[in-house]
Structure 1
Amino acid sequence: MRMWRLARSAGQWKPGAGPGVRGQVMRIGLVADLHANREAVKVVDRALSALSPERVYHLGDLVGYGAHPEECVRWAIANTRGGVLGNHDAAALNLLGREAMAPAYAAARWAGERLSSAAREYLSLLPVRELVVRSRLLLVHGAPSDPFGRIFWEEDADTEMDLYPEATTVAVGHLHVPLAVVRGRGGKTILFRKGSRTVPGVDRLLVNPGSVGAPRDRKDSACFLIFDDERRSFTWYRVPYNGRLPLEAIRDMGIPALPGPAQSPVMERVLCAIGMWKRLYRET
């Protein structure tokens, strides 16, 4: 895959021609929440090259938190068929205010101030929802009802999957945690969070590929998903990366830090394992 080279230079790329390309898709790579983490994107890029899905889509939050927003947006331009806008992307473009993003607003604005005009234009043209018609796949960063909201429970997923009848599969990001919610024709809803599954004949499916650049379930292990729309199968892949390098880059660049325990990856993982997250971490 073309790592950091723009597929469309500022002079060649025309607004309206970018995101949402549709084709005869079978195996789809889904990535989310890159968060300007160049080291994680590099290892995922190599893994996707080896797996060779027919299409790759992103689910937003290309920037924010990390030190390399420009490189990660360029990777998305060069290597995906489009995607959707995340809340950190929106904040980088000054489309979301501080009250909606605290405490991460300062880091998102830092990213926005350092993006090239081509990268900003790409982000500005991303939709908040996108339907891949051939695959009946709806892409959204947070939830179909609220593009920047979160789906915490199976009951929430059950409701959200019915909002767009033309989509049999909904792909979301935002949680930074891999999960899938499957509803069979008998109405039973089942949650998975790891491995590989084939679910032919299901009524509705919601998947979250996990996070490439800021995983909250496993430190320094980028996560993404391959979805086969013909076989109705999905597989998560974990790829380790050197977590010291992005942290050093954040410090060296002087990026505004998150306050309190949010700065600690260990504390973040503890917080994600308790309270409202606990049902996401049960074994199925």
Structure 2
Amino acid sequence: MKYAVVSDVHANVEALSAVIAAIDVERVDAILCLGDVVGYGANPNECARMLASAGAKGVVGNHDRAALGLRDTAHFGLQAQQAMRWTRRLLGGPPRDWLASLPLVRKVSSELLLFHAALHPMPNDELHLSSLSRLEKSLRALQEGGYGARIGLFGHTHHAGAWRARGGAFGPAPGDMVKLDDGAHYLINPGSVGQSRDGDPRAAFAILDMDQGAVWFRRVAYDTTLAMAKVAALAAAQRGGLGAWLAARLPLGRFAGQRR
């Protein structure tokens, strides 16, 4: 089986359209979505419809659950809370129903497990796997939690990468292409489609080919100017909705003001 893996679209339909076009060339068997389809961007309904129409198999992210009213946003920043209130008002119909149908954890094959954030201390949509210590704990949970899978696919951090455990050894598996060793366990993050935070503004995704035993990390350019203009226009037209800072970060591939 050959999969396209996407995550953290964040309602950026320009980025998602570019990624879907790149995926079409790959002739994959299925698209796997790791959550946060909505939040921050200008087109939540369109992004949810696009992935649903593509038959994507997914899990729910923290922004998706917040948009559905299933989680508190008190720990979100002020402007993120405002963006979420706007998203809640706009989201509806089949896109909302599709997001509501997504589970927190999903096993899609005998080897693959999908989740948004972390598997420890229990499966959740909140904890960032942003350190080797946290990655190792969730990888151990994958190995010992009775999931019956050896590859965990996750998002949430907006940073692509792969981490490998075999025997007592654990560490990153660097490179734009990672060969998957038989018998090893992996955590793999495809990066963010709609809101890169690693300094590269292009949309990120991954191609996972289980027959070849490899994952490729891919980037594709998209119309950041249009995506920015739509968010900026919404910010100017309303109060308590999308903030202009959400537009400013897109061409930077990081938070505005973030050094890297």
1:105 pairs with 81, 93, 96, which one? Answer: 81
**Structure 1 length normalisation: TM-score?**
0.80
Partner of 1:90: 65
- 1:1-284 correspondence runs (5 A): 26-103=1-78, 104-134=80-110, 136-145=111-120, 146-163=124-141, 164-165=145-146, 166-185=148-167, 187-192=168-173, 194-254=175-235, 255-257=241-243, 263-264=248-249, 266=252, 268=255, 271=258, 273=260
Q: Which residue of 2 aligns with 1:18?
A: none
Per the alignment, do residues 205 and 75 of structure 1 end up closer, same or farther by CA in structure 2, a change over 3 Å counting? Answer: same
Change (3 A) 1:80 1:257: same
* Unpaired runs of at least 5, structure 1: 1-25, 274-284
1:53 deviates by: 1.1
What TM-score do the two structures reach when normalised by structure 2?
0.87
Q: 1:199 to 1:219 in 2, by over 3 A?
A: closer
Structure 2: distance between partners of 1:98 and 1:258: 20
Q: Which residue of 2 aligns with 1:13?
A: none
Count of residue pairs the alignment pairs up: 245
- 1:149-204 deviation digits (Å, cap 9, x = unpaired): 1101222222212223412001110011101101123x222314541111222421
Question: Is the contact between residue 19 and residue 220 of structure 2 (CA under 8 Å) also seen in structure 1?
Answer: yes
2:139/2:165 contact within 8 Å kept: no
Q: CA deviation at 1:264?
A: 4.2
% identical equivalent positions: 29
- Structure 2: gaps of 5 or more residues: 236-240
Q: Specify the alignment match of 2:238 in structure 1.
A: none
- Aligned mates of 1:243, 1:147 — CA distance in 2: 27
**CA, structure 1 residues 28+133, in 2 after alignment: closer, same or farther (shift >3 Å)?**
same
Deviations 1:255-282 (A, max 9, x none): 42177x9954546277374xxxxxxxxx
Q: Output the CA distance in 2 between the equivalents of 1:269 and 1:169.
A: 34
Bigger mean CA deviation after superposition, 90-99 or 235-244:
90-99
1: CA distance, partners of 2:16 / 2:180: 29
> Is the 8 Å Cα contact of residues 136 and 170 (structure 2) preserved in structure 1?
yes
Q: Secondary structure at the match of 2:113?
A: strand
Distance 1:200 1:29 in 2: 20
Letter in 1 for 2:155: G
CA offsets 1:212-269 (integer angstroms, 9 cap, x no match): 000111343000001122333100110011211111101112342177x995454627
User: How far apart are the structure 1 equivalents of 2:86 and 2:175?
Assistant: 34
Q: Take 2:257 and 2:160, find their aligned partners in 1: how far apart are those partners?
A: 16
